[in-house]
Amino acid sequence: MNVQAYLAFNGNCQEALSFYSELFDAKIQNRQTYEDKKIDVPSSYRQKLQHAELKGKGVNFMAYDAAPDTPINHGNQIHMSVDFTDLEKAKYVFDTLSENGKTHHNFRERAWGHFGRCTDKFGINWMVNCDH
């Protein structure tokens, strides 16, 4: 069994995946636009991502640009959780994710290790953990 997140965006999926790809040293794969799909979307939306996957060592999730008639509401129904053993790397990732976003819990030492929670500039919620 494999359970993974599927993130929805409001037209900026490619930008978000490029950001995450660089941050997590992962590759964007299976990239499909609305271009040749038989889906009723405006011509200005045809180059948006209908499906894509981000894959790398320890990273695997899917994402897409929701069709314009499917409203996306930023909410807290999903958090991406990232676990590290390298404290410096964990702090860098947390700082990068929270830049131009919102920090909910500062990245600091907790009873179980280091932890921080933020919402990134794309409206995605993240939990960053380090057991060091």
Reported as a single tens digit per residue, the pLDDT across 39-49 is 888 888 899 99
State both tokens at 73: 């509401």
Q: Model pTM?
A: 0.84
Domain residue limits at 53: 6-65
Contact 86, 132 (CB under 8 A): yes
CB 13 within 8 A of CB 52: yes
pLDDT tens-place string over residues 69-94: 887 877 667 889 999 999 999 999 99
In this structure, the answer to whether residues 49 and 90 fall within a common structural domain is no
Domain ends where: 42, 65, 88? Answer: 65
Residue 16 lies in a domain: yes
Residue 19 has pLDDT above 80, yes or no: yes
Average pLDDT, rounded, for the chain: 91
Question: CA separation (Å) from 66 to 34, 49, 72?
Answer: 10, 8, 7
Task: Encode pLDDT of 90-116 as tens digits.
Answer: 999 999 999 999 999 999 999 889 999
Q: How confident is the model at residue 36 (pLDDT cuts 50, 70, 90)?
A: confident
Q: Is residue 17 part of a domain?
A: yes
Assess whether 83 and 34 both reside in one domain: no
Give the residue, 67 or 97, on which the prediction is more confident: 97
Instruction: Tell whether 97 and 46 lie within a shared domain.
Output: no
Q: According to the model, what pLDDT value does residue 1 have?
A: 60
Contact present, 123 and 77 (Cβ < 8 Å)? no
Judged against a pLDDT cut of 90, whether residue 30 lies above it is answered with yes
One domain for residues 88 and 120: yes
Question: Do the domain assignments include residue 111?
Answer: yes
Number of domains forming the structure of the chain: 2
* CATH code at position 35: 3.10.180.10
Instruction: Say whether both 56 and 93 belong to one domain.
Output: no
